[in-house]
Amino acid sequence: MSQMRVDKPQLSIHRYILLCLLLGLISPAMNQVITGVVVDEETAETIPFATIYFSGTFAGTSADQNGGFKLDVSEYTSMPLKISAVGYHTATLTDYNNPGQSIVYLKPKVYEISEAAIETKSLTRRRKRNLKLFRAEFIGSSVNANNCVITNEEDITFNYGSDGDTLKVFARKPIQVENNSLGYKLIYYLDIFEINRYSKELFFSGEIKFIKDVNMEEPNRSFVIRREKTYRGSRMHFIRSLWANELESNGFILTNTNNIKVKPESIVDLSEDGNKHLSYSEQLIIGYYQTGYSELSFLKDEVYFEESGYFDPDGINWAGDMAKKRLADWLPYDFSIELKE
């Protein structure tokens, strides 16, 4: 390899100090690495091997045996950072751009589980029925769902308490899912899962971490095709289209409940710092030419959203076609169209 000699210019002490200051300002912007330690809120003991990640992405790391971690956050500077560990509630870190080490406190989970030992045939049958219901509502019932497998169902348990109408689901460890339709592996940190057996009214929440399949360097074409088909008309597709002001060109029609067309600029606010928020006082109807209709209503005065398709999940209520999409049809925020238009 050829070499080239470059003579160093002679800097005055004042110029040298100024250069150091400039480099100090530029470096963090180029590579925003945060460090921290994960601690038990009650005992103040460090928690080893916690997962630090951006929910819905591949990005993340694991804490070491002493609870310490380091993570480059430069690609996700506006998204909340999640910290999860077995036996603890997930914590959210939003102000992680400050210098210095972050101390993250996790609250231990207290499981109120009344599930008896699965020994009798009756309880065995009940568990099978509950697992079937859970899979249908958690994974979904789409074509993609038929090729999804929960690989650690033994860590899932149910509460057979006095409220017979409501099924409550608990997971002792993160739920591990192989999506053999889209070619993803993922883990889901389940916080709450409750469903009314009769009305099918469902509420569940948690955080998702996508994992790249190390056995597959590049996705095969069948995965690519199914991913794009899943993306079309999804919530991610809609949010990204709103950001780019390309609803109609991407096949979406947005109206209010009186069937009056609503323009994207009527619901998108651009702040001085360049961030965008969604705001609208009425319920909205979303039509997509390849699927059906969905309903959208805002639970906050302003709902933050990003170009990647990320949005504040606590600020939007979905109904209709988009609401039916479950874990089998979720794509990571890192997703991009790989097929040529």
Q: What is the pLDDT of residues 41-65, one digit of tens each?
A: 999 999 999 999 999 999 999 999 9
**What per-residue confidence (pLDDT) applies to 32?**
84
Rg (CA), the chain: 24
| 135 and 150 Cβ atoms separated by less than 8 Å | yes
Instruction: Please indicate, yes or no, whether residues 255 and 294 belong to a single structural domain of this protein.
Output: yes
List the structure tokens of 227. 């991913």
Instruction: Please indicate, yes or no, whether residues 302 and 272 belong to a single structural domain of this protein.
Output: yes
* Regions of the chain with pLDDT less than 70: 1-31, 97-100, 111-122, 160-164, 213-219, 338-341
Question: Which H or E element spans position 14?
Answer: helix 13-30
Share of the chain above pLDDT 90, in %: 64
Q: Is residue 336 part of a domain?
A: no
Q: Is residue 47 part of a domain?
A: yes
DSSP string spanning 243-267?
Answer: HHT-TGGGTEEEEETTS-B--GGGT
Instruction: Please indicate, yes or no, whether residues 92 and 139 belong to a single structural domain of this protein.
Output: no
Q: Is residue 125 part of a domain?
A: yes
Residues 6+ away with beta carbon under 8 Å from 217: none
Final residue in a domain of this structure, among 145, 176, 211: 211
**What per-residue confidence (pLDDT) applies to 117?**
47
Instruction: Please indicate, yes or no, whether residues 97 and 139 belong to a single structural domain of this protein.
Output: no
Residue 161 domain boundaries: 121-211
Q: Is residue 219 part of a domain?
A: no
| 159 and 112 Cβ atoms separated by less than 8 Å | yes
**What per-residue confidence (pLDDT) applies to 337?**
81
Q: Is residue 7 part of a domain?
A: no
Q: Is residue 340 part of a domain?
A: no
Instruction: Please indicate, yes or no, whether residues 316 and 291 belong to a single structural domain of this protein.
Output: yes
Q: Is residue 111 part of a domain?
A: no
Instruction: Please indicate, yes or no, whether residues 127 and 194 belong to a single structural domain of this protein.
Output: yes
**What per-residue confidence (pLDDT) applies to 221?**
85
Final residue in a domain of this structure, among 66, 83, 106: 106
> Within 13 A of 167's CA, how many CA atoms are on the CB side?
23
Q: Number of structural domains, the chain?
A: 3
Q: Is residue 338 part of a domain?
A: no
